[in-house]
C-alpha cells in the first residue's frame, strides 16, 4: 500500500460532489497506516432489479481504484432493506418485492459488480444477517436514535406530504435501517450517489450513538441517462446495461448528446475529457463507445462495433449482420412484425414511428431510402430491408 495520505485522499474525493470530510479522512488514513490496515469502504445496493447499468458503475469504478491502493470494499446487498424500497428521490410509493424476487435479483448483482471490482479485495455481505435474529426491543432501540422531524426534513418526503401522496412508516425508517448497516460493519467510508446523502449522514449519526468513530461519506454525481435529462434508470428505459450486447451498447452510447458525452468520459473512463474535447465530437463519441464496449466485452468487440458503425452510418452501407425476420404470408401487419422481431417494445411505439415517417425501405442496390406510410407492406421475393429510426435495421423475407 502506498502510504501517502494525500494520494489516497485525492483518489477518494476525485470527481465527488460531497466529501465529509477531508480532515476525518486524513485521521482515518493515519491510523490505518500506523496499524498497516486498509480502510473499510462501504457501498450498498438494494437488489430491486436483476441488472446493473452504467449509472451504478460510477461508484464501482471509484472503489476499484481504491482497491488498487490497497483498501477493501464491503459490498452490502440489501436483501432486507429491499423489502422496504429506498425512497430516496422517489415521488411515489415503491412496490414491495417478494423474497423470491429479491433473491433472484441479488444472484445477478455480484457477478456484474465483479466486472469492475477486484473479487479478492471485496467482501459481500447480505444485510439480513444482522436483522434476522433481532428482537423487537433491539429493533426499536435503533429507531429511537433519530427524530421524525429530522427525517421529514428530506426534500422528497416533504414534497410528497405537500402533494398528499402516500408516505409509509417503512419509508420513514429506511434511512435508519441503512445507516445501521454502517454500525454493524464499523465502516470507515461510505459511498453513494448524491440522492443518498441523507441516508449516509444518518449512518454517521448512528455510529456516534453506538460509540463509534463516524464514517466519512463521499457522494458521486448521478449519471444522466440516454434521454439527456433524467438520471440513468431501468424504469425510465434510458439506461445502458453492463450486460447489453456489444452492438446495443455501442449504439446507445452513440445516441447520447454531445453535452452528456463529456460527463460520460469523466465518470466512466480513464480518458481525460479535456483531451477528448480536442477531437471532433463524432470521433470522440466513437472513442467513448469503443472504450466502454472494450471494457465490458473485449477490445476486439469494441473495434468491431466501431468499424461496423462507421461502415453503416458514415459510409451509408447496410449492416453485415442485420436481423432477419421471416413472415409466412405477403402483406403482413408491419406493426406486428416490428413487435415480434423485438425492434420495438409495443405496437404503440411502432405506430408512432410509422406516423412520424421514421420507418423507411432501403433499396439494396442504391441504398436510397423511401419512407413507409402503409401499415401493411408488400414483400418481394428477395425480401425488403427496413430502417427503423436512425440505427435499427430489419430484413423481412416472405417464406412463400
One digit per residue, the tens of pLDDT, for the chain of length 400 reads: 667 899 999 999 999 999 999 999 999 999 999 999 999 999 998 777 778 899 999 999 999 999 999 999 999 988 887 766 555 544 444 566 777 888 787 778 888 999 999 999 999 999 888 888 888 888 888 888 888 888 887 777 888 888 888 888 877 888 888 899 999 999 999 999 998 898 899 999 999 999 999 999 999 999 999 999 999 988 788 999 999 999 889 989 998 999 999 999 999 999 988 888 899 998 999 999 999 999 999 999 999 999 888 877 665 667 767 788 888 878 788 888 888 888 888 888 888 888 888 888 877 666 678 888 788 877 877 778 888 887 788 888 887 6
The pLDDT value recorded for residue 95 is: 60
- CA dist 149 → 60, 83, 146, 152, 164 (Å): 33, 24, 9, 5, 18
Task: Count the Cβ atoms, other than its own, within 10 Å of residue 104.
Answer: 13
The pLDDT value recorded for residue 160 is: 82
Give the N- to C-terminal CA distance of the chain in Å, as an integer.
69
Could you give the residue range(s) of every CATH 3.40.50.620 domain in the chain?
5-220
The reported pTM is 0.76
Find out whether the peptide bond into 8 is cis, omega within 30 degrees of 0: no
CA 235 to CA 101: how far, in whole Å? 16
Assigned architecture for domain 323-398: Roll (3.10)
If one looks up domain 5-220 in CATH, what number appears?
3.40.50.620
The pLDDT value recorded for residue 91 is: 45
Could you give the residue range(s) of every CATH 3.10.290.10 domain in the chain?
323-398
CA 249 to CA 4: how far, in whole Å? 38
CA 75 to CA 70: how far, in whole Å? 16
Cβ proximity of 181 and 173 under 8 Å: no
Secondary structure (H, E, C), the chain: CCCCHHHHHHHHHCCCCEEECHHHHHHHHHHHHHHCCCCEEEEEECCCCCCCEHHHHHHHHHHHHHHHCCCEEEEEECCCHHHCCCCCCCCCCCCCCCHHHHHHHHHHHHHHHCCCCCHHHEEEEEHHHHCCCCCHHHHHHHHCCCCHHHHCCCHHHHHHHHCCCCCCHHHHHHHHHHHHHHHHHCCCEEEEEHHHHHHHHHHHHHHHHCCCCCCEEEEECCCECCCCCCECCCCCCCCCECCCCHHHHHHHHHCCCHHHHHHHHHHHCCCCHHHHCCCCHHHHHHHHHHHHHHHHCCHHHHHHHHHHHHHHHHCCCCCCCCEEEEECCCCCEHHHHHHHCCCCCCHHHHHHHHHCCCEEEECCCCCCEEECCCCECCCCCCCEEEEECCCEEEEEEECC
The pLDDT value recorded for residue 297 is: 95
The pLDDT value recorded for residue 94 is: 54
Amino acid at each position: 500500500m502506498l502510504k501517502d495520505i494525500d494520494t489516497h485522499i485525492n483518489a477518494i474525493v476525485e470527481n465527488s460532489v460531497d466529501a465529509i470530510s477531508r480532515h476525518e479522512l486524513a485521521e482515518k488514513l493515519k491510523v490505518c497506516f500506523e496499524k498497516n490496515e486498509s480502510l473499510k469502504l462501504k457501498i450498498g445496493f438494494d437488489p430491486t432489479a436483476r441488472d446493473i447499468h452504467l449509472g451504478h458503475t460510477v461508484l464501482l469504478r471509484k472503489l476499484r481504484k481504491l482497491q488498487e491502493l490497497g483498501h477493501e470494499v464491503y459490498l452490502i446487498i440489501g436483501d432486507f432493506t429491499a423489502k422496504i424500497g429506498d425512497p430516496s428521490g422517489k415521488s411515489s410509493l415503491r412496490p414491495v418485492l417478494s423474497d423470491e424476487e429479491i433473491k433472484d435479483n441479488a444472484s445477478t448483482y455480484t457477478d456484474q459488480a465483479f466486472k469492475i471490482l477486484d473479487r479478492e479485495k471485496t467482501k459481500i455481505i447480505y444485510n439480513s444477517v444482522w436483522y434476522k435474529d433481532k428482537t423487537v426491543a433491539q429493533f426499536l432501540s435503533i429507531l429511537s436514535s433519530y427524530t421524525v422531524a429530522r427525517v421529514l426534513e428530506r426534500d422528497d418526503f416533504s414534497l410528497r406530504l405537500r402533494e398528499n401522496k402516500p408516505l409509509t412508516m417503512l419509508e420513514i425508517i429506511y434511512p435508519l435501517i441503512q445507516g445501521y448497516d454502517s454500525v454493524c460493519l464499523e465502516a470507515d467510508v461510505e459511498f453513494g450517489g448524491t440522492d443518498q446523502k441523507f441516508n449516509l449522514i444518518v449512518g454517521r449519526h448512528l455510529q456516534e450513538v453506538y460509540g463509534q468513530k463516524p464514517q466519512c461519506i463521499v457522494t458521486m454525481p448521478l449519471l444522466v441517462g440516454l434521454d439527456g435529462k433524467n438520471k440513468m434508470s431501468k424504469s425510465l428505459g434510458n439506461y445502458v446495461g453492463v450486460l447489453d450486447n456489444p452492438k446495443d451498447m455501442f449504439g446507445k452510447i452513440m445516441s447520447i448528446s454531445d453535452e452528456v458525452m463529456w460527463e460520460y468520459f469523466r465518470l466512466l473512463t480513464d480518458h481525460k475529457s479535456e483531451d477528448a474535447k480536442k477531437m471532433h465530437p463524432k470521433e470522440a463519441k466513437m472513442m467513448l463507445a469503443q472504450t466502454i464496449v472494450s471494457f465490458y466485452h473485449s477490445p476486439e468487440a469494441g473495434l468491431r462495433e466501431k468499424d461496423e458503425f462507421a461502415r453503416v452510418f458514415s459510409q451509408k452501407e447496410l449492416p453485415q449482420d442485420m436481423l432477419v425476420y421471416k413472415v409466412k404470408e405477403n402483406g403482413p401487419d408491419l406493426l406486428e412484425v416490428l413487435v415480434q422481431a423485438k425492434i420495438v417494445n409495443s405496437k404503440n411505439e411502432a405506430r408512432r414511428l410509422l406516423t412520424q415517417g421514421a420507418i423507411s425501405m432501403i433499396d439494396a442496390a442504391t441504398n436510397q431510402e423511401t419512407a413507409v406510410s402503409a401499415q401493411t407492406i408488400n414483400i418481394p421475393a428477395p425480401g425488403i430491408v427496413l430502417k427503423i429510426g436512425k440505427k435499427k435495421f430489419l430484413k423481412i423475407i416472405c417464406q412463400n
